[in-house]
Every structure is written in C-alpha cells, then in structure tokens.
Structure 1
Amino acid sequence: MKKLYGVVTAMVTPFDRNEHVMTESIRKHVDFLIERGIHCLYPLGTTGEMMLMDTEDRKRVAETVVDQCSQRIPVFIHVGAMRTKDTCELARHASEIGADGIGAVTPAFYSATSDSIYDYYAAVAKSVPEDFPVYLYNIPQCSSVAGEYSRYGVELAVEEINNAGGFEVGGKMYTIEIVEEDNEGKPEITNNAYNKLIGQDEVKAIIGPDASGPLISAGPLATAAKIPAIGTTASNPDCTTVGGEYVFRACWIDSFQAVVCARMASEILGATKVAVLYSNADDYSSGLATNFQKEFEALGGEIVAFEAYAGADTKDFKAQLTNIQNSGAEVIFLPNQAGELPLQIQQIREMGIDAEIMGEMSWDNPNVPELAGNENVEGCYFISLFAADSTDPVSQAFTEAFREKYGFDPNTQSTMSYDSVQILVDAFKRAGTVDDSEALRDAIQATDMDLPSGHLVFDENRNPQKSANVMVYKDGVPTYVSTIDP
C-alpha cells in the first residue's frame, strides 16, 4: 500500500473553449511534472475543477493521468462529490483503473454532523478494496469538523456542571444553557454571530471562535458591549490587543512558546548549548527563533548556531546543518511548520549529528512521524497544550470522561473549549453575581486555577500563562514526559 509523501502536485485540468477536457494537454502536463521531480500526482482536486465537472469527465481525466503516468510515481485521485453515490462510484473507478489511492472531501454547502461525515466516509471506504488508501480531505469551513471538536468540549463541561445541580453564585444555583452559532470560519459571519448572541440572545459570555482572524474581527464587538469572550485556539497576539479588554484566550500566544521551549531545553534536556534552524521567510518561525534565543540566553544558555533557510521551498539543509554539526550543539531547535520538519529531521539523522532534536507545537502533527519516519523522530521532544496520557489527575479525569462520552481521545480544540467553560464558571463564582459583566471580566482576569491543559493565570494582556506539556515521540506516538508551569 502506497502513502502520500514528499511533494504532491494538485494538477490543473485543461479545457478548450468549448469546455471539453483536453486529454493530450493532460498527458503533457503529467510528463512535465514527473520530469521535474515531484513525488505524487493529485488530479481532480479543487485546483482540478472537480466540482464543475460531471462524473464521466472526471473518469476520463483520471484514466488519462493514470495511463500517462504508467506507474512512474503514485497517483492519488480526488473523488469527493456533492452526492455520496457519485463519490463511491468515482472511488470504485479509481481503484479499478490502477490509481494508488484516493482523497475525498465532504459534500459542500451544508455543514454536516459528525455522524453524517462518518457515514459518508464509511460508504466510500466500503466501495474500494480493504487495503486501498483513502485520505480524508477536510475543509473545516464546509465540514465544521474543527467546530465539532470545540462543541464536544463545551457539551461535556456543561453536562458535568448541570448534572451536578449547577453552580452557586451569591447563594443561588444556576445551570448553563448553550446557544450555538456556526461562524463557518469567516470573520464577517463571526461578526453577525456575535451581534446576535449579544443583542438578541443576551448571553452572559461567549466562547469562541477558535481561529484568530474571526476573533480579531469580532472581538471589538464584545468589548463594546462589555460581554467577556474567550477565544479557544486563537494564538495571534492581535486577538486580545485589537479585541480589547473583554477578550481573552484559552491557548498560548506564539511568543509564550519561546519561554516554555527555552525552559524545556534547559530544565528537561539539560542543554547549555543549542543550535536553531529556522525559516527567515516565515514570521512565525523567525519570531519564535528570535524569542527562543533571548529566553535561552536569559537562562544562562548559549546559542552556538543560528541558521536560517529561505522558506518552504528549501529542500537541502546541508550547509546549515554542517555549521550546526561543527558548533558543538547539544540540542537542535526546529521551530518550523509541520510540512517542513520531515526533511529537516531526515537530513539531521542522515548526517549523523550527535544532538537531541526538539520543537514546538507544530510537531504535534501525525504527518511529522509519518513523513519523517518513526525511527527518525524517535526521542524528539516538543511541547503541546494537552496530553491525553498526562499523569495529572485533572487531565486524567477529563480524558476519561471524554472517552466515555465520545469514544475517542480529546484533542486541543475540545480541551480548550472545555477549559473555557471552567474558566467562566469559576469567574462567575468569584464575581458573586451573574449580572455584572465588569465584575465578571475582572474575575476572569484574576483566574488562577488547574485545568485539563494545566495551570492557568492571565497576564495583563489577557493571555494565559499556563502549563506546557513536554512530549516525546516513542514509536511514532506523542508520549507525555512532564509539565512546565509558567
């Protein structure tokens, strides 16, 4: 069974002026891509205009690509369609013509429930041989999968609180009512949702959204109305600075990662000399690298190599890694995007550099061990907002309750939304009222509590200073090591 790896090209589909598929042009395009060293072809995705083509045209394109490729490299065909029936038909066709695997996006337009998404992919899987690779192609704005996980965390927290009789404020018991709005991941829809929740539903507080852009857009509305809002996984610093004094977040900001990464290198790995390999074309990577250097040196450590590369197109890191190899570094810090890490890790191992490897939150991604190889990520350290196998009793209780209710482990989104409910309830109790939003805001600001994701306090900019989970890859699986408190 073949897997996606390396550089995968989403192919365009050429048409003539009469909107007929140009098969000869497709053949030339296949040869062009293979000759230039790409690793896998992916026809009929969004770039391939799949939603604008009928089933027969899509079959014709798939047949042409597979035939022209002639097994020189893998071909994974996108088969997602508006109807499950059509997706299954295209999936069967792909397996019959010799494709190496398929990808399938969920039907668009309507946001699907988790059960309907499961049923959709189950039907697709049953339409092809058991060992035929099927990749799930998720566009969160269409499937609402990210939002579903956030909902799970809120639902569990509210269920636990309400089943216990609610919570006491000023001698009176209160329960929680959930009012949901789907922002589809879009700022303008988030603005409308905030206005409805504040003006029509008269909510006491808002949890979400989970993305930075929508929260940056809608946050000022919450502050203007004096309604506290907590973003769940929105890490851009502008979320709170632009949003104003009533906007908080449950996750770290990007610069805070540098602090905990520096402490991990010093306290957990015992390093005094660290090398950094970062992208100077990525603000996230370069900013984190610079902040890490500052924090590690403040702890008495030395940055013995600070090596930059020119962004995601860089494939050969030998020059930078040679400098690192000669620097005497005990640890190499890779604060880079998940898609760039596998090649870097592989080349470090191939060169036999005698140093431990560590990273930040980007490492908490199944593609890293899958593409780099389990043997290459073995023993690599990184930080995460949550660890399902944490030994912390609060984390364990949450994970067990989540597994019992949903049948699988919580992820970052569900944990941050669960945390957000707990933060609000704790603040209501300490505020002593449910009708004074300013008192509630002040109580949230003064939060000091243990949560499934660790201990949390807010700084003056309403960003959490919270515990970080140190993780290490063992047999390709993120495994909890310890916790670093702020």
Structure 2
Amino acid sequence: PMTGGYGAAVGVPAEKAFSMAAEKVGVFEVAGKKYEWKLIFEDNLATIAGGNASALKFIHEHHVKFMHQATADPGLAAVPIAEQYGMLLDTAGANYTDFSPEHPYFYQTSATWSLHAPTFFHWLKDAHPEVHTVAYVGADDRTGHAVGDAVIASAEYFGFEMVVEEYTPPETIEYSHIATAVMQEDPDMFFGALDCYVLMQERGWDGLGVSGYWTDSPAEQVGWENVEGYLLYLPFAIGDYWPAAITFREEYEHRYGLELVPAALWAANVIFVLTDALRQAGTVDDMDKILETMKTGKFDTLVGPLGFGLEELNGIGNVVIYPTPIMVVTGRMEYELLHLYTAEETEAFMLEVYGK
C-alpha cells in the first residue's frame, strides 16, 4: 500500500527499504550469470481489490518474475493470479494458516505476529506473574484479525484470560470510547494502539502495554515519558543486538529522512532472502527448485541467517522464522533487551501452542 494509513506506516517506508536493499545487493551471480534487481512498485491499497488489480498489472504490464504484496488482504487476493502464471508470491501480515500445499508458490519473509506471540506469552508467564487478564484492540482487517488470533490463542494457552477482543476500522484515530470500554474490564495488559494505551493511563489505568509493531514517531507524539515500561516482542531495528540492522537503519534514515519502521526492515530482508535463495538454487527461472532451496536453506539477512519453517503446522512451511527479542522502552529511543529467544526456540513455542 502506498496511500492512506497503511501507505504511511508500511508502504512508503518499505519502498525505500526495498530500493536500498537492492542497491546493497548490486550485481549478483547465479549459475555463472550476472543479475541485478529491477524494482517496480504499485499501490495495492491494502485491500482485496487492490491486490487483484496490482497483481494483474505487475504481470501483464510489467512482466515481473517475482511479486511481493504487503498486508494480508491483497497478498491472499493475489495468490490465484500468481499461481496461474507460476510466479513466486511473497506477502506480509498473513497468518501461518494462510499457507498450504495447495498454494506452494505463496510464502512470507516478513516477521509475523502468529510466530512471535507464543514466545512472548511464554516469557510473560514467568516474568510478570501479576498479569492475569489481557485486552486486545486491533484493526478490522485480515492483518488485525491475524494479530488478534495469535494473541488470543497464545494468551489462553498459557493460562491468561482474554477480557476484551475488539476490532476497529483501520483508519481509527479517536480512541476515547474504546479506552472507556477497555477500562471497564480493567485488564492487566493491553495490546493495541499507543494512543489508546496512553489515554487509559491518563485516566488512571496502571496495567502493562505491549506492541507487536513499534515505531518511534507515535512515542514522540504522546511523549516518551508516557511509554516507559512499554513491552515489545517482534524483531525491530532497535537496540544493539543486530549490528547489521542498526547500520542499515542509520544509513536509511540519513538518506531518506524516514524512520526504518518494522515493515521497512522486513522489506529489506525480502530482497536479501530471495537473492540468497536464487544463488543457492542456481536458477532464477525454476520456481520449484527455488522453493525446494527455501525449504532447506539458511539465508543471510540483516538479523543473521534465517530459514523457513512451520511445515508441521500447515503442511508446507513457507514462513520465515525470526528470533524473538523481548524488549522494554526505557527512555527516548532507548530500549533494554530483556531476553532474546533464538529462531529455533521461537518455532518450538509456536509448535507447542498451535500444535496442541
């Protein structure tokens, strides 16, 4: 998506990251031949209709060989179109259940909430025994429901009670009535918009807040002093534990004057994973061979080598497994790493929760 709220938060920053990553890769060699990425961008509007329209335009006007559709609605809409033409399709924001043997060319390189929520709640159970009840408020779209599904399944598995599950229009900016409704249930922990969290704090609520998609700009708007103690649990380019990601972020922000938001970090990794997969497969045309390489290989990224997994759950895998960092906001653009779970640990907790 290049317009609207998703465009500002996801599409525009990701477009810059795709471009910078492709520049970093430069000319690369596959089976003795030299290649470089030619990137083409279209606005999928973060909608089903936009996914259909942009996919057809990519194929019939631009004749692309590989496709990425950001956010789950357009990604899933593009699946039958991409498969009709034998094209690899990467998405972001989808659930692990969206991938199956019936759609072998469909995969996800970006981090995903269904992957990291089980690890977070495993950590939470021991780290915060005072937490018993959880509220979730998310966008009323495919991605928002994927986040909610992951939070609810993981919370309930580890013995937490969900007291609020609410979905709002993606364009929501006024949270007063939502804050009122959530506070009536007095949850110990809140998953949702930072504006809503701060509003509840101002009204006297004193629970924990947690985000699966952190950016610095909302914290600047609400005041960093109001978000100290806020918990984060997805791989972001913050802290100092992934030096390559931090170096990329510094150059990106200097070059574009934009924050390297999570979607931008994950977009860069789309380029790095696919480039390395083509190299290891020794082909840019044999999609089946590329997919087979993806199943077994490890690929260099900004957060270290990553591989695909979860075949035990969905019958095919096709989801990149990231490590899970548990972090807390300690000051203005300052974060403390509380625990870093490996990719192997992350996958194991996911199999435990969803394979029950």
Taking structure 2 as the reference length, what is the TM-score of the superposition?
Answer: 0.74
1:470 aligns with 2:330: no
Say which of 400, 403, 426 aligns to 2:253: 403
Between the aligned partners of 1:245 and 1:388, the Cα distance in structure 2 is: 34
Contact 1:216 1:242 in 2 (8 A): no
Question: Which stretch shows the higher mean deviation, 219-228 or 170-179?
Answer: 170-179
Between the aligned partners of 2:242 and 2:259, the Cα distance in structure 1 is: 16
Alignment of 1:217-256 (within 5 A): 217-231=77-91, 233-237=92-96, 239-241=98-100, 244-256=103-115
Tell me the secondary structure at the aligned position of residue 127 of structure 2: coil
Contact 1:250 1:419 in 2 (8 A): yes
Say which of 149, 161, 183 aligns to 2:44: 183
CA positional deviation for 1:286? 5.6
Matched AA of 1:334: F
1:147 aligns with 2:8: no
CA positional deviation for 1:390? 3.1
Say which of 16, 23, 33 aligns to 1:159: 23
CA positional deviation for 1:442? 2.0
Contact 1:285 1:335 in 2 (8 A): no
Contact 1:204 1:437 in 2 (8 A): no
Taking structure 1 as the reference length, what is the TM-score of the superposition?
Answer: 0.57
Contact 2:152 2:162 in 1 (8 A): no
Say which of 124, 133, 139 aligns to 1:276: 133
CA positional deviation for 1:425? 0.5
Inter-CA distance 444–201: structure 2 relative to 1 (3 Å threshold): farther
Matched AA of 1:181: E
Inter-CA distance 415–187: structure 2 relative to 1 (3 Å threshold): same
Matched AA of 1:418: A
Q: Report what 2:72 is aligned to.
A: 212
Matched AA of 1:171: G
Contact 1:248 1:462 in 2 (8 A): yes
Between the aligned partners of 1:146 and 1:389, the Cα distance in structure 2 is: 21
Q: Report what 1:359 is aligned to.
A: 210
Tell me the secondary structure at the aligned position of residue 70 of structure 2: coil
Inter-CA distance 175–450: structure 2 relative to 1 (3 Å threshold): closer
Inter-CA distance 187–454: structure 2 relative to 1 (3 Å threshold): farther
Tell me the secondary structure at the aligned position of residue 19 of structure 2: helix
Q: Report what 2:171 is aligned to.
A: none
CA positional deviation for 1:185? 3.7
Between the aligned partners of 2:327 and 2:275, the Cα distance in structure 1 is: 30
Inter-CA distance 477–145: structure 2 relative to 1 (3 Å threshold): closer
1:171 aligns with 2:32: yes
Matched AA of 1:253: T
Contact 1:345 1:377 in 2 (8 A): no
Paired residue total: 321
Alignment of 1:114-129 (within 5 A): none
Which of 1 and 2 has greater Rg? 1
Say which of 284, 291, 294 aligns to 2:153: 291
CA positional deviation for 1:245? 1.6
Inter-CA distance 363–391: structure 2 relative to 1 (3 Å threshold): closer
Alignment of 1:327-366 (within 5 A): 332-346=188-202, 350=204, 357-362=208-213, 364=215, 366=217
Q: What is the percent sequence identity of the aligned residues? A: 18
Inter-CA distance 365–346: structure 2 relative to 1 (3 Å threshold): farther
Q: Report what 1:262 is aligned to.
A: 121
CA positional deviation for 1:202? 3.6
Q: Report what 1:98 is aligned to.
A: none
Structure 1 runs not aligned, ≥5 long: 1-110, 113-137, 298-302, 325-331
Between the aligned partners of 1:181 and 1:277, the Cα distance in structure 2 is: 38
CA positional deviation for 1:284? 5.8
Matched AA of 1:471: M
Contact 2:110 2:270 in 1 (8 A): no
Between the aligned partners of 2:88 and 2:333, the Cα distance in structure 1 is: 37
Between the aligned partners of 1:262 and 1:155, the Cα distance in structure 2 is: 35
Contact 2:13 2:258 in 1 (8 A): no
Question: Which stretch shows the higher mean deviation, 440-449 or 235-244?
Answer: 235-244
Contact 2:156 2:162 in 1 (8 A): no
Inter-CA distance 445–408: structure 2 relative to 1 (3 Å threshold): same
Matched AA of 2:11: G
Contact 1:144 1:184 in 2 (8 A): no
Matched AA of 1:259: P
Contact 1:335 1:360 in 2 (8 A): yes
Between the aligned partners of 1:275 and 1:156, the Cα distance in structure 2 is: 44
Matched AA of 1:406: Y
CA positional deviation for 1:480? 4.9
Inter-CA distance 285–426: structure 2 relative to 1 (3 Å threshold): closer
Between the aligned partners of 1:318 and 1:139, the Cα distance in structure 2 is: 29
Inter-CA distance 420–243: structure 2 relative to 1 (3 Å threshold): farther
How far does the alpha carbon of each residue in 1:356-404 deviate from its partner, in whole angstroms, 9 at most, with x for none?
A: x252315656446754x64443223222331233332221232233234
Which has the higher relative contact order, 1 or 2, with Cα contacts under 8 A spaced 6 or more apart?
2
Between the aligned partners of 2:220 and 2:258, the Cα distance in structure 1 is: 21
Tell me the secondary structure at the aligned position of residue 385 of structure 1: coil
Contact 2:237 2:265 in 1 (8 A): no
Contact 2:183 2:200 in 1 (8 A): no
Structure 2 runs not aligned, ≥5 long: 167-176, 312-316, 347-356
Give the root-mean-square deviation of aligned CA atoms: 3.6
Contact 1:445 1:458 in 2 (8 A): yes
CA positional deviation for 1:219? 1.8
Between the aligned partners of 2:156 and 2:304, the Cα distance in structure 1 is: 25
Matched AA of 1:262: F
Contact 1:449 1:456 in 2 (8 A): yes
CA positional deviation for 1:152? 0.8
Between the aligned partners of 1:168 and 1:285, the Cα distance in structure 2 is: 38
Contact 2:214 2:262 in 1 (8 A): no
CA positional deviation for 1:184? 3.9
Q: Hey, which bits of structure 1, 4+ residues long, moved more than 6 A? A: none
